[in-house]
Amino acid sequence: MASISTLGVGSGLDLSSILDSLEAAEKSTLTPISTQQTSYTAKLSAYGTLKSALETFQTANTALNKADLFTATTTASSSTAFSATTTGSAIAGKYTISVSQLAQAQTLTTKNTQTDSKAAIATGDSVLTIQQGGGKDPVTIDISAANSSLNGIRDAINNAKAGVSASIINVGNGEYRLSVTSDDTGSDNAMSLSFSSNSDSALKDFMGYNGTSTDADNGMEESVTAQNAELTVNNVPIVNSSNTISDALEDITLNLNDVTTGNQTLTITNDTSKAESAIKSWVDAYNSLQDTFSSLTKYTAVDAGTDSQDSSNGALLGDTTLRTIQTQLKGLLSNTSGSATFKTLAQIGISSDASTGQLEVDDDKLEAALKKDASGVKDMIVGDGKATGITTVIGSNLTSWLSTTGIIQAAKDGVSKTLNNLTKQYNDASDRIDTLVARYKAQFTQLDVLMNSLNSTSSYLTQQFESTSSSSSSS
């Protein structure tokens, strides 16, 4: 008997359409599961958005949680001969400064010249020792005869990292000198260059230096003298080996560039602009976080009698985790462990819009508060940096919320677990439907085969009856 390749051929019924309808009816039971999967996937993504927004706010909160913002100062010099930088603890005031001498690094240069910087000077191997003052250890450098050209000596000294640098100077007429300069300024860092007793005599004569130029014809001479910086601050004499002086004035570093003509003035003034800028950036970051809260919890009303919610609703509408963070954060803004001068943000010009939760800054009031008592503002905002202060307490909570054991991660883990369960439910239901549809198809195929067989038998019997009837009529 021929097999049935298309459903319905044998039975004359539209079994394919019937099977499709049965399959569609069964698969419709998957829709609630896939709808839940879509919802929880959106929720998982929303938690990622929430975490990112909190991290952005955390960055601004950390930037504001620095006490030295509120003690910042600026410097102004009446002369380009010196400048200054300060730390947050520098005291505002004026200083009279006079610079009579800059610190210099010593430079030694060979008296004799060479006409070929690549030609060897020595015929034997040598050991050079460079000794600098200031308690530094001597450095020994091996110089082979083959490597005793100006180029070779230069490279050997520089590669030894001896606290000096060597270079070759072209003095014209095809003649070259070797120059060695100390890395550090100051008279204590003056150097001597000596050779071991068995070193090559030609090399000794060419570049030996024992601290003085005793040999008028040989060795090296001091082309730049090692010297200290000399200056007065408020008419107090100061000597320093460096042109960067950090220990003369408390929390102030002087940078000397040149000598001065008479007394000049360094002015240190309080600078509230850094604190003001950090506070405004913090407010902007807080408001941006509130925008994220609003977006994730957006609600659009639907017509009465409509069961489904609007598809534009926020993925975390009614979410406990977000609501907890939002409520706690709002409460942290009212931290009252402030100073005697300021206890609330409103007192320094930062108010909250009750309808939106956004913060607003009164620039004039904020600037006036910082100028009046920057320390008091710092006490309210930063506190002790450990347990008190608005940004300190907020920072601790942000760290907790964002940690791997925090409430956001716990919420994400819960959603991921639910998604895994939904995936299993969907796959199990889909497998069951596939099995059921396959059974329906097998049954329909058997029906087709049976009906085809019955139809064939019916046709055969009809032909036999017709043949018998025809034979009887002929008789």
Distance CA 422, CA 31 (A): 12
Q: 37-51, 411-425, 427-441: which range is least confident on average?
A: 427-441
pLDDT above 90 (res 407): yes
Distance CA 319, CA 386 (A): 31
Distance CA 86, CA 250 (A): 9
How large is the average pLDDT for residues 87-113?
93
Residue 448: partners with Cβ closer than 8 Å, 6 or more residues away: 4, 7, 8, 9, 10, 11, 15
Q: 197-201, 213-217, 403-407: which range is least confident on average?
A: 213-217
Buried b (16+ CB within 10 A) or exposed e, 52-84: ebbeebbebbeebbbbbbbbbbebebebebbeb
Which phi and psi angles does 311 have, rounded to 5°? Answer: -70, -15
Pick 202 or 437 by higher pLDDT: 202
- pLDDT, tens digit (0-9, with 9 covering 90-100), for 346-391: 999 999 998 888 999 999 999 999 999 998 999 999 998 888 899 9
3-state secondary structure of 96: strand
Cα dist. 155→119, 130, 174, 428 in Å? Answer: 14, 15, 21, 76
Residue 100 burial class via C-beta count within 10 angstroms: exposed 0-12, middle 13-18, buried 19 and up:
exposed
Give the pTM.
Answer: 0.66
pLDDT value at position 134? 63
How large is the average pLDDT for residues 312-326?
89
pLDDT value at position 432? 81
Q: 77-81, 105-109, 268-272, 309-313: which range is least confident on average?
A: 309-313
pLDDT value at position 35? 74
Which phi and psi angles does 108 have, rounded to 5°? Answer: -110, 140
pLDDT, mean over the chain: 86
Cα dist. 281→261, 365, 441 in Å? Answer: 44, 16, 67
CB 255 within 8 A of CB 99: no
Cα–Cα nearest to 175, from 117, 218, 122: 117
How large is the average pLDDT for residues 242-246?
96
User: Strand runs (DSSP E) across 78-149, as ranges?
Assistant: 82-86, 93-101, 107-110, 126-132, 139-143
Task: Map tokens 């919890």 to a residue.
Answer: 297
Distance CA 139, CA 162 (A): 6
pLDDT above 90 (res 399): yes
Residue 340 has a CB neighbour count (10 Å cut-off) of: 8
